[in-house]
Each structure stands twice: as structure tokens, then as C-alpha cells.
Structure 1
Amino acid sequence: MLDLLNDLLWSKVLIVVLIGLGLWFTIGSRFVQLRHFGRMFRILGANQAFAKDQQGHLSSFQALVLSVAGRVGGGNIAGVAVAITLGGPGAVFWMWVVGLIGMATSYFECTLAQAYKSAMPDGTYRGGPAYYIERGLGAHWKWLAVLFSALLLVTFGFGFSALQSYSVATSMQDAFGIPVMATGAALAMVVGVIAFGGVKRITQVAEVIVPVMALGYVAMTLVVLAMNLEQLPAVLVLIVKSAFGLEPAVGGGIGAAMVMGIKRGLFSNEAGLGSAPNVAAVAYVPHPASQGVVQAFSVFIDTLIVCSCTAFIVLLGDVYQPGMATELGGVALTQASLAGHVGEWGRSFVSVAMLLFGFTTIIYNYYLGENSLAYFGGDRRAVVAGYRLAVIALCGWGATTDLGTVFAFADVTMGLLALANLLALALLFKKGLRLMRDFDDQINRGVREPVFDARRFADMGVEPQAWVLEPQDSAALAPAGAAPTAQAVR
């Protein structure tokens, strides 16, 4: 039954809905992900300085690395290799396409999450789909917000925390012979230390580990590309031809390439699933669309960069041969391919990458669960402490247990989670466009860093207290010669 539900959700319903809505958002926004691509880098730099105050705020960059921690996981290494094995090199092309489309979806869900966020006493924020469903759609949609939060807690907070622990532990056992029990105990201890430090400690850890792991993996791929530069044009041609069924020797045809590439892209970048907006809402930024632009860049990092790294490592190697059967798949194919390029130590490199990718995903999953509890009002110390202890126990237990049934169940709940979020996004698209146009209009008037005036959006149900800027930031963003508005001063 679980397999049937998974097949229905992920091979039929969600592929159509996610791609359809992504195209709608892309065209309706006049390709917002491409129009603002250059601003992604400038916004990160500006907002990083913008948040350097003593009020406990989290920066746009910290929110970005926390979302990358969740998007970039073991699937970027193992899942891409599986997609190529089953769908051929053409799967990579369709993975790129769905990544570009998903950038628009992520832009709108994260912009809405920012607009409807709530300010917390410690200077941080809470937000996500549950918040924009209830406030944006009205109290009569609260049932959908409650359902979403419950599914988020079960899927990410509990299910995927245990599953990631299992993936990390088995990978370390296969590569280095480390017992799964030892890895599970170590993970439980480290996750506990980080979790009990709250969201600030989570982001502090993420902003150190995530750049190191992502840049390290990209650097290794650049080495592989340099070693095989002459073959690169032929591989790119193979990817495009296979995507449209023009390489008969590859097998599988255009159908297999599309299905595997689209599924890999959707699973990996999480655009539209409703998980990343919970993280996007924590940033202290001057305008909701600023974080929407940054989170679109997060999808680009995950799918167009990190997933592509695995694709090139595999396709430029000799282990995988298009059209020929191979006994290797998943992480084993990536390991063997990298070892063929740089030597046997490449296998260990991939295992360490899996460890880091899996570990950061665990702390990301933990935060999503905590955010769900906060929505239910479960932010009292005893409740949060109980949740933290449960996640620690799951990390230890999950490392030693084959969780096939749990994985299938979590896939179903994640599919339902995505449908709830996508329904809300479709209904809130006009409000998302209104936020986007406010951002665009300010840019067109020559404003270097657009500022959100919550008073002008009172009819949308936003929380004014969440959009009160610190005095120094308000002064820095005010036009030359203009006094800061009352809205912008604490």
C-alpha cells in the first residue's frame, strides 16, 4: 500500500503539479529567477552587513546556509548516480530544467514565509507555510495549517532524522569499517549539543560546515574537469542528445530520462515541498523578496551546482558506460567513478562528503520539527526539551536499524506535505506577486536596497512587529536627506 501511494504521489501527481505550478510562477513573474539572478550575490553581501547588530538577529547568509544544509544531502551524491543509471545521461538535462523552474517556486514560497513571519522575544523569527496559510488565507484555512505542521513534524522532525542517521552510519561502516552503533552514538551526542543550543547554534554550525562541504565537493569536481577537459564538450552533447532520445545506444529513451531527471531535481532541491520556507523565515532582512531571491539561489546551488558535480564525476569516468549494464549504483557508482579519476582515496572522499551532507541535513530536519512545535504553541521548555531528547534517541536508534518501512511512510507524508503547501501557494500567488512588484518597483525607482513597509500590506495580515528595523539599519537604508519612518524605528 505504501509503495502504491508513493508511486501515485511521486511518479504522477506531484511531478505534474510541481512542474505545472513552477511554470505558472515562472511565466507569471516574468522569469523572476533569471531577472534577479545577479542580485542574489549583492543581496547576500548587503544583508550580511545589515544584520551585524547586537539584537540576536540571524543574517540572510545564515538562513541561506541552513537551507543549503537541508537541500544538499546524500541524494546529491547517491541520487544523481541512480538517476543516471536508470534514466541515462539525459536525466541530468531534465534535472537542470526542473532546478531552473524550481527557483521560481522557491522564490514565492520563501518570500511569503518572510512576509508572514512572527517576531520572537530573543530577536529571532518563526515562520513557514503554516503561518502564511493561516494568516494569508484566513482562519477558515487553519485546518490546512495544522495538517501541514503535523506532517512536517512527523516527516522531517522524526522520520528523516532517523533515516539520515542510518545513511550516515552505513556509509561510514562500508568505507572505514566503523560500527554503526559507534557512529550512531557519536551522531546522537553531537546533534544533542547543537540542538540544545537552539536555532542560533544550529546556524553557527551550519555557516561553518556547509561552505566547507559544498566548496570542497565543487573543488574536487573542478579537479576532475581539469583532468578530463577534452572530454567535456562530448559529455555535454551526450547529455542534451540523450535528454531528447537522440542517443539510441543509451537506452531508456526520453521518457526514462525525463522521469528520473525530474524526480531527482524535485527530491533534491525541495522547491515547493514546504520545508525550506521554515528556514527562510528566520532571516532579518529589509524586504521579504530579498530572502526570496536568496533562497532561489539556494536551489541553484543544490541542483545546478552540487548535483551537476556528481553527474560530471560519473559521466567523465570509465566506470559508467552509457547503454551498458552496471552492477554499481548510487553512492558506490560515485565512489568508483571518483576513484577512477584520482585514485582509491577518492572513495574515502565521497564517504566523508556523505557524512557531512547527512549530518547537516539531520540538524536541518531537527529545526523543521522544532518550528512545527512552535506553531502548535509547544515552545515551552519542557516540550522542546522532550522533542530534543526524542531526536537524539532517534539518531542513535536509526543508525542501527533498517528503516525501509519508515522511509516509505515518510515519503508518503512528504508527498502530502507538498500538496498542502502547493495548494496554499496557488491560492496566495497574487499576494506573492504583490510583494514581488513592490520589490521591483523600488528597484526601478533606483532604490539600492528595497525596504518593506508593513503598513501598506496590513490587509494581507502581516505582523507589523516583525518588520520593525533597528535604528541604525533604518538610518542606513533611508534615502539621502530623508528621515527614517516611524515604521522603521524600534
Structure 2
Amino acid sequence: MPDFLSFIGEILWGSVMIYLLLGCGVWFTWRTGYVQFRYIRQFGKSLKGSLTPQKGGLTSFQVLCVSLAARVGSGNLAGVAIAITVGGPGAVFWMWVSAFIGMASSFAESSLAQLYKEKDESGQYRGGPAWYMARGLGMRWMGVVFSIFLLLAYGLIFNTVQANSMARALEFAFDTPKLLTGLIASLVVILLITRSLKSIARMMQWIAPLMSLLWVGASLLISLWHAVEVPALLEMIVRSAFGWQEAAAGAVGYTISQALTNGFQRGMFSNEAGMGSTPNIAAAAASWPPHPAAQGIVQMIGVFIDTIIICSASAMVVLLSGHDTEIVTHSGIHLIQQSMNLLVGNWGAGFVAFIMVLFATTSIAGNYLYAKNNLYFLQLHTRTNVWILRGVTVLMVLAGSLLSLPVVWQLADVIMALMAITNMTALLLLSPVVRIIARDYLRQRKLGVQPVFNARYYPDIEQQLAPGAWDEPPRE
């Protein structure tokens, strides 16, 4: 099985996914008028506007924090270490590239999720890729396929990855038995996921920023302490990305391929741009200003924070330590812990373990919300089915804590690729709608008015929307 999954993963990530990610990201960068570069200077203003509460949904800031909680997990620590181990320092450069390109894909999927959202029986907005496949493309069967992939990924596989990294980190730092970690983690998770969406969102708007600041702050202090080495380290990242360091060894093609593949693979596992996960929570926001593009811009900030800031923080810890990454290939989280020990002393491993517990626990809660959302699309959101999902989530956390599953990472890569292929196919088919959303938002910004989406201007789109989802609100 590991050999088979490795073979499938190499096919998907060695060619299909790289070209699809690049192509989709470049396409939407052009179709949206370079939205990620045009609005990067306005991220602060967008964040300030995301705090405004609106009737019928979560605030955009709460949604951003939930999406960050789901994004920021083992991929930001163990995933980065694995990328550097397998692809070399150059993988970090391609992670950055994947983030900037992926920001356009994230804008597209989150804007479409907002556009095609609908209200459930409790009045809460719901939506995501399955909804825009069904409403925008008229392909409900495609939405069903995507929902099944997502339930497998976020209800099962990704939770074992998070729990496994958490258990390994605690065992390495404190000799904590994996069974004890699994039991405590399961208890914490069940306490989290039995709360309502709004309750979880309120918690995440405090926890997600705090845990991110703790890790980035620690990395920043270490980088300042080793400031003399940072310029050479950045040069090494760029040189390794293009094989210039290895040219003399005659391994240019292999090195570039490994760096690019692992950089994109781990970057996407971390920031999830284009994978179709984040739109499931992006649709829950009552955006302000009341325009689908507003939520797309806010979610671009999430990709930037996740990869350009948090993943870079992890990369700096590994590379500044001078640790020989080739001797630790079995566990990315152990490499991070050993690197921190070398940089700050024996308490470093414990600090990483604490951060990993925060990252993993909040990520599992976010994964559950994504999976539960797709039960609504499949019309399986009965009380019994929700409790089955909760039970499976807890079992996966316990299993992931106890078992050493290198095959889990391979399985995660395969299911992630299948999800992304399905989602990006839908995104490309709906690219004319994404272009309309982006141009409508930009036109109103240029006129100096608050953007408001008026579906009556676009009759073809209006007939696809859920009743009441985009009734025009009054301007300020």
C-alpha cells in the first residue's frame, strides 16, 4: 500500500498538480486584474472592515480566524521540515511562490462561495465548492463527489495527521505516553466540536491570532539574534530553488524538481489555496462591505499569513539551526524540535510541543466544521449523522496519536490532490463569474463608493442564486 500510494502521489504531484496549481493561479491572477498584488497594501483596511458584524452570519474576521485555525496545523511545522528535508532549502522559495499564486485561487473560490451561499433552517449562511458546483455549474453530482472527498479528507485523514504530529511532539519533549495524549486530545476535541458554529468562531477569533503570534514572535526573536546569518540564508534559499548551489554536482534537474514539488505540495497542504476547504467557512460570513469579493480579499490574507509568515517562521528555525536535515527524515516535527533545542536550549522542544498542541487542536476543530458543512449539502445533517461524524473525528484523533503512520502523509497527499483537481476544475469553468465579481468590486472602488453587489445587474447569475442571499442592502 505505501508503495502504491507513493506511486500515485508521484504521478499527481510530479506533473498533474504542479501544472494545475500554476495554471489555475496564473489564470486567476490575470482574470482578476492581479488582485493579490493590487490589494496587498489594503490588507490592513480589509481586516479592519472584517470586524463589522452583520445580520445572518459570522463576521469576516471570525471566519478568517476559523480558516486560519484549520489551515495552521502540522503542515506549518512538520510539513515545512519535511519539505526542507526532501526538497532542500529551495523548497521554501517555491512555498512562497505557491502562496502568492494561490492567493488568486483563494480569492476565486471564497468569492464564489459567498456568491452562491444560502441559509439553513436556523438562518445561518452555508456554502462552499459543492454549492457553487450545484448552483453555478448546475452539476450537483460534481458537488456530491467533492463532498465525499472532503468528508474523507477532513473527517478522517487530516485529523490523524494532526494528532500524530501532536503525540510525537509531546513524546519527544516530555516523554508523554501517546495513549495519554490521545485520550486528553480526544476529550478536548469532543468538548470543542459539540459547540455551535458561532461559539467555535468566537473562541477561534482569540486563539488563532494568539497561537500564530507566539510562534512567529519566537522565530522573529531567534532571527534577530542570528541577524548576521539571515542574508546568507535567504541567498541559499533562492540559489537552491534554481539548483545553482548543486550545479557543480550535476544534480540540477533533480534538485529543482524536488524543491518545486515539495514546496508546492507542502505549501498547499498548509495554506489550502485552491483545495476547496476554506470556502466552506468563507460562505458563513455576512461580508462587509456586502460584496462577494470582500470575503475573497479577506481570505487572501489568510493564505499570506499562513505561508509567507508562519511557514517562513518555521523554515527560519530549521535553517538557522544549521541542523543536518538529512539525518532526520522520519518525523518533521522532531526536526523542528531538535532545531529549537540547538537554538535556544532544552526548553525549545517543549515550546514547539505546546505550539503543536494549539495548532493541531484548533485545526481538528476547523476540519470538523468543514466536514459537517458538507453533511448539509448531502442532506445528511441529521442529529444521528452529526454524532457519527463527531465519534469518527474522536476515533481518528485517538488512532493518529497511537499509531506510527507514515502512510497517512501519503494518503493525505493523494486525497488532497483529488479534492483540488475537482475544485479547480469547477473554478476554471466558473472563471467568467469570478471575473465579473472582481471587476464589479473594482469598478465601485474606483468610483469611491462602498461596493455593494446587486444581482439584478447580472440576470444570468441572479437566477442561480439562493433566494434572499443577496438582497441589496442600503449603502452607508
After TM superposition, is the score higher than 0.5? yes
Give the superposition deviation at 1:257: 2.3
- 1:272 is matched with 274
Q: Work out whether residues 314 and 320 of structure 1, in 8 Å CA contact, stay in contact via their aligned partners in 2.
A: no
Name the aligned partner's letter for residue 313 of structure 2: C
Of the three residues 319, 324, 340, the one matched with 1:315 is: 319
Q: What TM-score results when the alignment is normalised by the length of structure 2? A: 0.92
Indicate if the aligned counterparts of 1:455 and 1:464 stay in contact, CA closer than 8 A: no
Question: Structure 1, residues 178-224: CA drift from partner, whole Å, max 9, x if none?
Answer: 22222212222222122111211221222222111100011001111
Give deviations 1:255-299, integer Å, cap 9, x for gaps. Answer: 332222222222221111111111111111111100100111111
Counterpart contact for 2:28–2:104, Cα < 8 Å = yes
Partners of 2:266 and 2:20 lie apart in 1 by 15
Matches within 5 A, 1:221-236: 221-236=219-234
Tell me the residue number matched to 1:47: 50
Q: Please list every run of 5 or more consecutive structure 1 residues that lacks an aligned counterpart in the other structure.
A: 479-490
1:67-120 CA-to-partner distances (Å, cap 9, x unmatched) read 111221112111212222222222211111111000001000110011001113
Is the contact made by 1:91 and 1:243 (CA closer than 8 Å) also made in structure 2?
yes
1:56–1:122: 8 Å Cα contact kept in structure 2?
A: no
Query: What does residue range 44-83 of structure 1 map to in structure 2 within 5 Å?
Result: 44-51=47-54, 55=55, 57-83=57-83
Kindly provide the amino acid, as one letter, of the partner of residue 359 in structure 1.
T
Q: Does 1:294 align with 2:292?
A: no
Taking only aligned residues, the RMSD between alpha carbons, in angstroms, comes to 2.0
Match of 2:402 in 1: 400
Q: In the alignment, which residue of structure 2 is the partner of 1:452?
A: 453
Q: State the alpha-carbon separation in 1 of the partners of residues 29 and 308 from structure 2.
A: 17
What's the counterpart of residue 27 of structure 1?
Answer: 30
| TM-score normalised by length of structure 1 | 0.90
CA distance in 2, matches of 1:417, 1:59: 27
Distance 1:350 1:70 in 2: 18
SS at match of 1:235: helix
Instruction: Tell me what 1:485 maps to.
Output: none
Query: In the alignment, which residue of structure 1 is the partner of 2:140?
Result: 142
Letter in 2 for 1:18: L
In structure 2, the CA distance between the partners of 1:145 and 1:56, relative to structure 1 (3 Å rule), is closer
CA deviations 1:285-331 (Å, max 9, x no partner) are 1111001001111111111011100111122223248xxx4346622
Distance 1:312 1:162 in 2: 26
Instruction: Tell me the SS of whatever aligns to 2:50.
Output: helix
1:295 maps to a residue whose letter is: Q
Structure 2 partner of 1:125: 125
Letter in 2 for 1:3: S
Partners of 1:245 and 1:253 within 8 A in 2 = yes
Asked whether the 8 Å contact 2:170–2:350 carries over to 1, the reply is no
Paired residues of 2:50 and 2:298 also in contact (CA < 8 A): no
Specify the code of the residue in structure 2 equivalent to 1:380.
T
- Answering whether residue 255 of structure 2 is matched by residue 257 of structure 1, we say no
Cα deviation, residue 58, structure 1? 0.8
Q: Larger deviation: 100-109 or 230-239? A: 230-239
Q: Is the 8 A contact 2:56 2:125 kept in 1?
A: no
Contact 1:80 1:330 in 2 (8 A): yes
Separation (CA, whole Å) in 1 of partners of 2:371 and 2:110: 18
Q: How has the CA–CA distance of structure 1 residues 412 and 316 changed in structure 2, closer, same or farther, with 3 Å as cutoff?
A: closer
Which residue is 1:95 aligned to? 95
Determine the C-alpha separation between the residues in 1 that align with 2:210 and 2:306.
14
Provide closer, same or farther for how the CA distance between residues 163 and 76 of structure 1 changes in structure 2, counting only shifts above 3 A: closer
- Structure 1 distance, partners of 2:447, 2:15, is 44
Aligned to 2:219, the other structure's residue is in SS state helix
Q: Give the Cα–Cα distance (whole angstroms) in 1 for the partners of residues 245 and 411 of structure 2.
A: 37
Contact 1:114–1:288 (CA under 8 A) maintained in structure 2 = yes
Conserved? CA contact 1:164–1:361, under 8 Å: yes
- Relative to 1, partners in 2 of residues 1:395 and 1:263: Cα closer, same or farther, differing over 3 Å? closer
Query: What secondary structure sits across from 1:390 in the alignment?
Result: helix
Does the CA-based 8 Å contact 2:13-2:261 persist in structure 1?
Answer: no
Q: Tell me the CA shift for residue 149 of structure 1.
A: 0.7
SS at 1:77 equivalent: helix
Q: Secondary structure at the match of 2:176?
A: coil
Once structures 1 and 2 are overlaid, which stretch shifts more, 459-468 or 142-151? 459-468
Partner of 2:363: 361
Hey, what does 1:484 align to over in structure 2?
none
Q: Would the alpha carbon gap of residues 390 and 86 (structure 1) be closer, same or farther in structure 2, given more than 3 Å must change? A: closer
- Give the counterpart letter for 1:132 in structure 2: Y
Q: Using the alignment, how far apart are the partners of 2:425 and 2:178 within structure 1? A: 40
Q: Who is 2:350 aligned against? A: 348
Q: Equivalents in 1 of 2:427, 2:48: separation in Å?
A: 29
Kindly state the Cα deviation for residue 237 of structure 1 after the two structures are TM-superposed: 1.6
Match of 1:113 in 2: 113
The alpha-carbon deviation at position 406 of structure 1 amounts to 5.1
Partner residue, 1:431: 433
Query: Structure 2: how far apart are the matches of 1:408 and 1:91?
Result: 18
Counterpart-to-counterpart distance in 1, 2:269 and 2:405: 19
Residue 466 of structure 1 aligns to a residue whose secondary structure is coil
